[in-house]
Structure 1
Amino acid sequence: MSVASLRRAAQESVSGLPREFWWLWTSTLVNRLGAFVATFMTLYLTLERGYSASFVGLVVALHGLGGVVSSVVAGVLTDRLGRRPTLVAAQASTAFAVALLGFMEHPAAIAVVAMLVGMTSNASRPAVQAMMADIVRPEDRVRAFALNYWAINLGFAVSSMVAGFIAEYSYLAGFLGEAALTLACAVLVYIKLPESRPVRTEAEKAAAEPEIGLGTVLRDGRFMGVVGLSFLISLIFMQGSFGLPLAMGAAGFSTAEFGLVIAVNGLLIVLLQIPVTRLIERRDPQKLLVVSALLAGYGFALTAFGGSVWSLALTVCVWTLAEIINSPTQMGLVARLSPVHGRGRYQGMYTLSWAVASLVAPLMAGFVIQHYGAGWLWTSMAVLGMVAALGYWLLMRGLSDGDGAPAALAPVLVVKPAAAEVV
């Protein structure tokens, strides 16, 4: 492919998206550049503090429990208070909680503050996802979600390598660095992003359209099926943050070596997310989700055969491809199934699947590795991948003819400098 073709492809990938999206994208990038706690919490507690795998699993699970609590609450606040105030409050409180965690000494205090960090950091997700669905046209959403995921992993790739070496000298510096960057994100959102929450039109008010509550979300069978499958996929992918560092630590690998291995995940997404999204953007989402589930499960299963940094890095390549395919495809599906005036609650319930996985994944990894060995953990990932693949195939049969209306028919919110209008 010529340089001119590459330039044209890059321009097509980023063109046509509103300015507000790029400020939100910038906020995401800055936030992920400071992602220290989620990546190095396990190694911090085992190598720096000397706690057992079971205790580490408990602490990280409490981090996930905090996310479970905040997911639904933040989704409701996103619809009621608005996207912008929810996002600013979540990021500011996360900065405080992360800084506080770096100074905790007692095991009970570490556990409590870790739960607080999970609660505050997860609260921003429904607002970010709802705002993105508000400001981006339906036909551009898969591309927008892919670009946002690209920013997440660009920051993750850089922070993993840098923070891995920082952790060799001072974990506290890592905590304080993440707190500073998260606070910068809150300031950026407050200054640059207008509120994007859709307002009800006069016709909707006259028709006395019922409010969308959590019960509405729970009764939406197809959407809750997506939430359940998202939980299974999340349980697999999160072993990169929980099971992999535990297994590598038990096998004698260093913090820096884990940082290099996991950085392959972010680096590949930075390199491949945009071109792969261009290839899959118009393809059948059912097939894409099925393939991604199988790649994820078997990719982690291959970890059982990795005995060196380079062989482990190759296994990361396999399940990273699954991430590249799954993330924008599934996020596009979630936005497609979410009603305009209930996006916060729907996104909150979707975020709940990741939060519950954050609760279960570390407990699962710690228990299985400590009592049965890492091989059984990686085998179970292959099984979960096959179950998720079957679930996607069954769930999405006849989607275009059933619950999910074609994305092009969904309303889009255009954000203007002074106000937001439903178009």
Structure 2
Amino acid sequence: MKTLINNYVNTFKGLSREVWWLALITLINRAGTMVIPFLSLYLTKSLGFTVSNVAWIMSAFGLGSVVGSWLGGKLTDQIGYYKVMTYSLLSTGILFIALQFLTSFTAFCIGIFLVMLVADTFRPAMFVALSAYSKPENKTRSVTLIRLAINLGFSAGPAVGGLIITTLGYSGLFWVDGITCIVATLVLINVLNPKTTKQLDEVKVENPESAYGDKAFLIFLFAMMFFGIVFLQYFSTMPIYYKDVHLLTEFEIGILLGMNGFLIFVFEMPLIKWLENTKFTKTSLMLFGAVLTGLSFVILNFTNWVGVLVIGMLLMTFGEMIAFPFSNAFAMDRAKKGNQGEYMALYSIAFSIAHIFGHNMGLQLIGKIGFDNTWFIITALAGLCVFLLFTLKQYLKYKKKKKEPAMVEEEDILWI
């Protein structure tokens, strides 16, 4: 047992002090965004909005995320990641506190758009900072540590949020969300000031290439958008399937979804550490993760046995654990030859677009054609993602043969 624990702890070794601080800031920030899980409930119960109103507000939410990610990338390239992260966290805290005072439909649409616009400028800047504070050989594990922080934050946030609602009401959520963002800002200023931190992988590009002209990266972005649409079904349509088809209680659904976060916390870092030492390229690993995630849906149509839900969750979780860290590391590697903020902004936007269309599409499909047909369509989208990733792998192999190493992953040079 002691050896097992030591091996687990060793998977975290070698990461820089700055990466650990960045993970703590992310944990504080994500745990603070406890308004989001209760947003629909707040809008319908407290403000009396209709479900249609809430749908439009969520569209404004997603649109703000897209614009914010794009703007964050632009600003990161112009003024640097540190300033963008600082201004984003501080401004988001103030806007979250102010959001509670908006009670009309139009005002709330504008308010949530502005909150997400400002909040998501943080994401591209954070990715660029993560790249700067990580040694090249540690980038994937650094991403994994940030994902652990995000998962812990999202796990703690709703639980604390429910307690706050019962004691302080919904207004307490907005105050706590705002204050945690401001606290995260203070931590950031004190521990990640450029004057006192050391960059481990400083990238200076004399003639940066535009991400929009990087064909391999564009193929990758479309693949990630489809993967995001598939993955997000587990947080919108799947809970309804659990309840309506398999008659699970809210407690049982919570346990099943909680298994996802627990498995990520326990297995993701050792799994990534092991995969990094194999001969597989990032594209091959992303492809495998997409295959596992697609299989998690299609198997639901072949049996009514309730145990298939656990198998599906296991497939999705391991698919997620493989696809996300290596896709993030792939994006950071590609960004080294261009404007880093622009590259990481587009990576964030791919998932923001998935948020805009994924939830709505899944919910519309189950209402019109039922769960079984919906799962086949979602599996087909996963298949499209796999096809794009396979195309990406072949394209990179072709570029390698054409003697253009700048367009190829480091692993492709060794293993393809």
| Contact persistence 1:57–1:366 (CA under 8 A) | no
What is the number of equivalent residue pairs in this alignment? 398
Q: Are residues 253 and 39 of structure 1, via their aligned partners in 2, closer, same or farther at CA, if it must alter by over 3 Å?
A: farther
Residue 107 of structure 1 deviates from its aligned partner by: 2.5
Q: Which residue of 2 aligns with 1:420?
A: none
2:347 to 332, 345, 350: 350
Q: Which residue of 1 aligns with 2:134?
A: 136
Q: Distance in 2 between matches of 1:166 and 1:310?
A: 35
What amino acid is aligned across from residue 129 of structure 1 in structure 2? F
Is 1:178 the counterpart of 2:173? The answer is no
1:266 to 243, 261, 268: 261
Is 1:318 the counterpart of 2:322? The answer is no
| Contact persistence 1:30–1:182 (CA under 8 A) | yes
Is 1:277 the counterpart of 2:272? The answer is yes
Task: Report the more deviating stretch, 236-245 or 26-35.
Answer: 236-245
Deviation digits for residues 98-121 of structure 1 (CA, Å, limit 9, x no counterpart): 333344332223322222222122
The residue correspondences of 1:212-227 to structure 2 (distance < 5 A) are 212=209, 216-227=210-221
Residue 326 of structure 1 deviates from its aligned partner by: 0.8
Q: Which residue of 2 aligns with 1:86?
A: 84
Is 1:243 the counterpart of 2:246? The answer is no
Q: Distance in 2 between matches of 1:54 and 1:373?
A: 21
Q: Which residue of 2 aligns with 1:416?
A: none
Task: Report the more deviating stretch, 102-111 or 367-376.
Answer: 367-376
Q: Which residue of 2 aligns with 1:396?
A: 393
- Does the residue aligned with 1:396 lie in a helix, a strand or coil? helix
Is 1:77 the counterpart of 2:81? The answer is no
Is 1:406 the counterpart of 2:405? The answer is no
Q: Are residues 380 and 405 of structure 1, via their aligned partners in 2, closer, same or farther at CA, if it must alter by over 3 Å?
A: closer
Deviation digits for residues 55-89 of structure 1 (CA, Å, limit 9, x no counterpart): 43332121110111121211011011111110011
| Contact persistence 2:53–2:105 (CA under 8 A) | no
Q: Are residues 371 and 10 of structure 1, via their aligned partners in 2, closer, same or farther at CA, if it must alter by over 3 Å?
A: same
Q: Are residues 383 and 228 of structure 1, via their aligned partners in 2, closer, same or farther at CA, if it must alter by over 3 Å?
A: same
Q: Which residue of 1 aligns with 2:117?
A: 119
Deviation digits for residues 361-388 of structure 1 (CA, Å, limit 9, x no counterpart): 2332343344444544433221111111
| Contact persistence 2:295–2:312 (CA under 8 A) | no
Q: Distance in 1 between matches of 2:376 and 2:275?
A: 29
Is 1:387 the counterpart of 2:384? The answer is yes
Q: Which structure exhibits the higher relative contact order, with contacts defined as CA atoms closer than 8 Å and separated by 6 or more residues?
A: 1
**TM-score normalised according to structure 2 size:** 0.83
Deviation digits for residues 120-162 of structure 1 (CA, Å, limit 9, x no counterpart): 2211110010011112111111111111111111222222444
Q: Which residue of 1 aligns with 2:61?
A: 63
- Say what the alpha-carbon RMSD is for the aligned residues: 3.4
Q: Are residues 48 and 342 of structure 1, via their aligned partners in 2, closer, same or farther at CA, if it must alter by over 3 Å?
A: same
Q: Distance in 2 between matches of 1:29 and 1:306?
A: 39
Is 1:24 the counterpart of 2:1? The answer is no
Q: Distance in 2 between matches of 1:98 and 1:249?
A: 33
Q: Which residue of 2 aligns with 1:194?
A: 193
Q: Which runs of 5+ in 2 are unaligned?
A: none
Residue 35 of structure 1 deviates from its aligned partner by: 3.1
Deviation digits for residues 153-189 of structure 1 (CA, Å, limit 9, x no counterpart): 1222222444356556744433333222222111111
The sequence identity of aligned pairs, in percent, is 24
Deviation digits for residues 276-305 of structure 1 (CA, Å, limit 9, x no counterpart): 112212331233212211222332456779
Q: Are residues 47 and 313 of structure 1, via their aligned partners in 2, closer, same or farther at CA, if it must alter by over 3 Å?
A: farther
**TM-score normalised according to structure 1 size:** 0.82
Q: Which residue of 2 aligns with 1:415?
A: none
Residue 255 of structure 1 deviates from its aligned partner by: 7.0
Q: Distance in 1 between matches of 2:378 and 2:367?
A: 17
Is 1:210 the counterpart of 2:214? The answer is no
- Does the residue aligned with 1:105 lie in a helix, a strand or coil? coil
| Contact persistence 1:153–1:267 (CA under 8 A) | no
Q: Distance in 2 between matches of 1:351 and 1:109?
A: 26
Q: Distance in 2 between matches of 1:163 and 1:388?
A: 35
Q: Which runs of 5+ in 1 are unaligned?
A: 410-423
| Contact persistence 1:154–1:269 (CA under 8 A) | no
